[in-house]
């Protein structure tokens, strides 16, 4: 059976490393204990602490997905046992491990500080979101789209000139049938070699510029509603294209993308806060980043 959350076989590295900073419970009420071995007890609080480190989109699903919660619990058990054995053997004293632990520790603390202190009170309500939307409408547009149908006669990449000429003759013959009054959709069902669309009469649905092969794109967006193209050659073969409908570029209504607007506005507000923090605490105090040394340092390390 498939589950709504992706399969967890190991806790993601940052989550696993961050958990080392959160002490597991050694004593707790029995009803809170989810797994135990000797004096090691993993509680519901431990599980929730692990889940809290996942991105929000996963946390929401993990609240109701039993199989994924169990996999995370199993990973907690395994990582706790492995960590205990590593410490008992002195493996955790390895210099590289200590460096990584220090990095993860600093990153974890910094992120918590940002979320709880730096970004405290940084929110976007409906009024602020609406204002942001009105001032940035150009960023919330639906591009021009067309709905088209096509008939495809495939041409192999290594096709000979005779084979190409044969396919070209076939597609021209189909175009003549269309001009003679035969229904485009019927011919598509019978002759098109695009298996995904032929039974739908060649219908590709609506799509914006840039979605199709360049030659196809140029042809389809130059046609008016109801028009049929001459044969168009792409890397797939020869096409005949019919435009069913066209929709000009338009502004997406606020109510349809309110949450998206809120997320974008909140992200920008946090980025501004972060930039102001770095100006005040680094740039304004004379801090310098030596960009020209970045790749040189990497090369020297590699040469060593």
Taking only the tens place, the pLDDT of each residue in 145-165 is 999 999 999 999 999 999 999
Kindly tell me if the per-residue pLDDT of 9 is higher than 50. Answer: no
Query: Using CA atoms, how far apart are residues 237 and 246, in angstroms rounded to an integer?
Result: 25
Question: Which burial class, exposed, middle or buried, applies to 257 when counting CB atoms under 10 A from its CB (0-12, 13-18, 19+)?
Answer: middle
Looking at residue 55, its pLDDT comes to 78
- With respect to residue 123, please indicate whether it lies within any of the assigned structural domains: no
What is the span of the domain harbouring residue 37? Answer: 13-92
Are 19 and 105 a contacting pair, CB within 8 Å? no
Looking at residue 65, its pLDDT comes to 86
Are 151 and 202 a contacting pair, CB within 8 Å? yes
Asked which of 202, 234, 250 is the last residue of a domain, the reply is 250
Q: What is the CATH number of the domain that holds 155?
A: 3.10.50.40
Query: Using CA atoms, how far apart are residues 231 and 149, in angstroms rounded to an integer?
Result: 13
- With respect to residue 48, please indicate whether it lies within any of the assigned structural domains: yes
Q: What is the pLDDT of residues 81-119, one digit of tens each?
A: 998 899 999 998 999 999 998 998 999 899 999 999 999
Q: Which residue has the tokens 């032929």?
A: 198
Kindly tell me if the per-residue pLDDT of 7 is higher than 60. Answer: no
More confident residue, 153 or 45: 153
Count of C-beta atoms within a 10 Å radius of residue 250: 11
Q: How confident is the model at residue 13 (pLDDT cuts 50, 70, 90)?
A: low
Are 76 and 58 a contacting pair, CB within 8 Å? no
Closest to 40 (Cα-Cα) out of 91, 76, 10, 16: 76
Per the structure, the count of domains in the chain is 2
Query: Using CA atoms, how far apart are residues 242 and 185, in angstroms rounded to an integer?
Result: 10
- With respect to residue 205, please indicate whether it lies within any of the assigned structural domains: yes
Can you read off the two tokens belonging to residue 189?
């069902």
Looking at residue 90, its pLDDT comes to 93
Asked which of 92, 115, 135 is the last residue of a domain, the reply is 92
Can you read off the two tokens belonging to residue 112?
């918590």
Closest to 224 (Cα-Cα) out of 249, 200, 241: 241
Same domain, yes or no, for 71 and 155? no
**Backbone angle region of 201, left / alpha / beta, with phi > 0 → left and psi within -120 to 50 → alpha:** left
Kindly tell me if the per-residue pLDDT of 253 is higher than 70. Answer: yes
- Beta strands at 237-247 and 145-154: parallel, antiparallel or unpaired: antiparallel
Asked which of 55, 74, 92 is the last residue of a domain, the reply is 92
Kindly report which listed range (127-131, 281-285, 298-302) carries the lowest average pLDDT score: 298-302
Residue 234 in 3-state DSSP?
Answer: strand
List 152's β-bridge partners, or say none.
239
Can you read off the two tokens belonging to residue 291?
């960009």
Same domain, yes or no, for 83 and 150? no
Looking at residue 8, its pLDDT comes to 40
Looking at residue 5, its pLDDT comes to 38
Mean pLDDT computed over every residue of the chain: 88
Q: What is the pLDDT of residues 163-221, one digit of tens each?
A: 999 999 999 999 999 999 999 999 999 999 999 999 999 999 999 999 999 999 999 99
Looking at residue 56, its pLDDT comes to 77
């Amino acid at each position: 059976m498939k589950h709504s959350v992706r399969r967890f076989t190991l806790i993601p590295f940052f989550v696993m490393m961050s958990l080392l900073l959160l002490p597991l419970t050694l004593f707790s009420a029995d009803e809170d204990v989810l797994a135990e071995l000797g004096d090691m007890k993993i509680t519901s609080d431990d599980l929730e602490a692990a889940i809290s480190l996942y991105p929000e989109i996963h946390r929401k699903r993990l609240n109701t997905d039993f199989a994924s919660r169990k996999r995370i619990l199993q990973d907690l058990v395994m990582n706790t046992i492995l960590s205990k054995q590593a410490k008992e053997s002195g493996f955790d004293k390895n210099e590289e491990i200590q460096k990584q632990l220090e990095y993860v520790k600093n990153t974890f603390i910094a992120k918590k500080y940002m979320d709880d202190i730096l970004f405290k009170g940084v929110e976007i309500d409906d009024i602020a979101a609406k204002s942001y939307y009105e001032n940035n409408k150009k960023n919330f547009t639906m591009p021009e789209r067309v709905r088209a149908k096509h008939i495809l006669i495939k041409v192999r990449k290594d096709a000979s000139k005779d084979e190409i000429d044969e396919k070209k003759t076939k597609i021209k013959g189909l175009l003549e049938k269309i001009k003679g009054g035969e229904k485009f959709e019927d011919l598509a069902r019978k002759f098109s070699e695009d298996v995904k669309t032929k039974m739908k009469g060649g219908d590709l649905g609506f799509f914006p510029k840039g979605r199709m092969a360049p030659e196809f794109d140029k042809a389809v967006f130059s046609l008016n509603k109801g028009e049929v193209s001459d044969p168009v050659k792409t890397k797939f073969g020869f096409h005949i294209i019919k435009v069913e409908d066209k929709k000009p570029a338009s502004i997406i209504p606020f109510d349809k993308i309110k949450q998206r607007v809120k997320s974008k506005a909140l992200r920008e507000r946090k980025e501004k806060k972060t930039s102001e923090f770095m100006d005040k605490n680094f740039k304004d105090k004379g801090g310098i980043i030596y960009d020209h040394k970045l790749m040189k340092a990497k090369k020297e390390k590699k040469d060593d």
